[in-house]
Amino acid sequence: MFNSTIRVWGVCLVLLLAGEACTNLDEKTYDVIPTDQFGSTAQQQAALIGPLYSGLADYYGNSTNLNAVTDEQIVPTRGGDWKDGDNWKRLYTHTWDPTTDNGQFNGPWTWCYNNITSINQQLGSITDEGVKAELRALRAFFHYKAMDMFGNVIIADQVGAATPAQKTRTEVFSWVEKELLEVYPKLSSTVGGAYYGRFNKPVVNMILAKMYLNAQVYTGTPRWADAVVRCDSIIKSGKFSLTADLLDNFKVQNQNSPEIILATPFDNSKKGGFNIQMATLHYKHQLTYNLPAAPWNGFATVVEFYNSFSAQDLRKKMWIVGQQYDASGKALDDDGIPMVITPEIPAFEMPAGPAGRLAGARSQKYEIQKNNTTNDMSNDFVIYRLGDVYLMRGEANFRLGKVADALADFNIIRKRAGVPDYTAAQLTLDEILAERGRELAWEYHRRQDLIRFGQFNKAWRFKPASEPYRTLFPIPKDQISLNPNLKQNPGYN
């Protein structure tokens, strides 16, 4: 855009002062491109896709609540706090109801398909092949997320299809894979800078690796070797490296982490919405971090999950336990009781009082922004990172019988965590799941992992064994009402 604006009324003023009359005061602006002409260049088309990425920021909000269906996150009732009609209890115990809890699932569904619709509306005006490929990859990602959560969903690849047909999970898997493979050659290999938070070749490799790792769940056919190929592409590109400390990836200013493959940017003043600290911290942690408001004292982790971290595991510092202090170092109390956060949660529904309020290890994996002026933090939310790639490749190689290769990858991660290397005898599927839990806690991969390892429906603390159909969420009743072609998932009728 030009830096100056030439206006006719300015010329008229000069003429008037010279004794001439001017009666045409219509304003013409020469530094603004008319809307119907914008988007004619590759640079302008790239600018058009910026708003379409804003929907990706809701990945955090649409994942954090549903993480409560796993063994790594619990939202217990503390007196009347977090009772919320027992919806958190139903999520955790896998007793959610498609009618009562319709809103819990309608949000993620509409997140996927509203973003898909916005992309479809823009795609028709895009002529630059690189930008078009990027948008198609983003659209495929939202279809992948819908397929992962709901199974048999719709493929919305056209504008104006009011009631598209429902497709099987296998059909959606094949369509997403085909889309990603078609656009891959046209995508940029650049990472960081202008491509930070955007879809490029490494991001598509990551999505494909995730799909292939879970292909047996999605389609009935394992594709471990294909997962290895996609992980190899990311690792051998040399574009990413592990940070010295795992938690460096989650600092308030984490946008320059060399490990991040895809993140969605947040800023406490310019782009709000990331407030995980408010959900997990105790009310009086306001005094610890000098926050503008008291946190909500909700999300915690389950004691068995906390105890899966050994004492020497450097990753264990992601949890807040023990005596708590204010910003000056003074010990805090809760109604006269020392404010000691305990890993143990004695019951899902606890009575009011300090015992219930102090129960459960809280998360500080994302650095808590001190002296903040809002409830939103400036940490970018990490969707994909290199540490997960090593773990995925290690798991896929293990399942292929390549134990030595698997050990090498897992021990790279173990070394950073400060824990002993695995031996071949120690590496089992149960141990792989546990290691993924320790490395990726609260990064919202746990549901997918538990399902892949056949553990999702088993009993754990406060949760009885649940029905196999619970591996899929119910298709929201609101969506079935809007589209008669949608049929409810088995078990929810």
Q: Where residue 492 falls among pLDDT bands split at 50, 70, 90?
A: very high
Which fold, 193-265+380-453?
1.25.40
Report the percentage of the chain scoring pLDDT > 90. 88
Per residue in 254-287, pLDDT (tens digit) is: 999 999 999 999 999 999 999 999 999 999 999 9
Q: Where residue 408 falls among pLDDT bands split at 50, 70, 90?
A: very high
* Rounded-to-10 torsion of CA 256, 262, 267, 268: -110
Per residue in 304-323, pLDDT (tens digit) is: 999 999 999 999 999 999 99
User: In 3D, which of 344, 449, 394 has the Cα closest to residue 227?
Assistant: 394
Provide CATH 1.25.40.390 ranges for the chain.
42-71+96-187+457-487
SS3 260: strand
d(CA 490, CA 482): 19
What's the gap between Cα 121 and its chain centre?
24
Summary mean pLDDT of the chain = 92
Asked whether residue 23 carries a pLDDT value surpassing 60, the answer given is no
User: In 3D, which of 110, 113, 87, 111 has the Cα closest to residue 100?
Assistant: 87
Six-digit token string for 254: 């984490």
Six-digit token string for 4: 């100056």
Average pLDDT, integer, range 407-419? 98
CATH code 1.25.40.390 for 42-71+96-187+457-487: yes
Average pLDDT, integer, range 200-214? 98
pLDDT computed for residue 47 by the predictor: 75
Per residue in 349-386, pLDDT (tens digit) is: 999 999 999 999 999 999 999 999 999 999 999 999 99
d(CA 280, CA 278): 6
Per residue in 427-467, pLDDT (tens digit) is: 999 999 999 999 999 999 999 999 999 999 999 999 999 99
DSSP string, 298-356: --B--HHHHHTS-TT-GGGGGEE-EE-B-TTSPBPEETTEE-EEBS----SEE-SSHHH
Asked whether residue 15 carries a pLDDT value surpassing 50, the answer given is no
Average pLDDT, integer, range 248-252? 98
Residue 191 CA: distances (Å) to CA of 12, 139, 241: 51, 20, 12
pLDDT computed for residue 493 by the predictor: 85
Average pLDDT, integer, range 404-410? 98
d(CA 461, CA 477): 30
- B/e letters for 174-186, b = 16+ CB within 10 Å, e = fewer, are ebbbebbeebeeb
Provide CATH 1.25.40.10 ranges for the chain.
193-265+380-453
How does DSSP classify residue 33? -
pLDDT computed for residue 40 by the predictor: 59
Average pLDDT, integer, range 78-89? 96
At position 430, the amino acid (one-letter code) is: D
d(CA 108, CA 121): 20
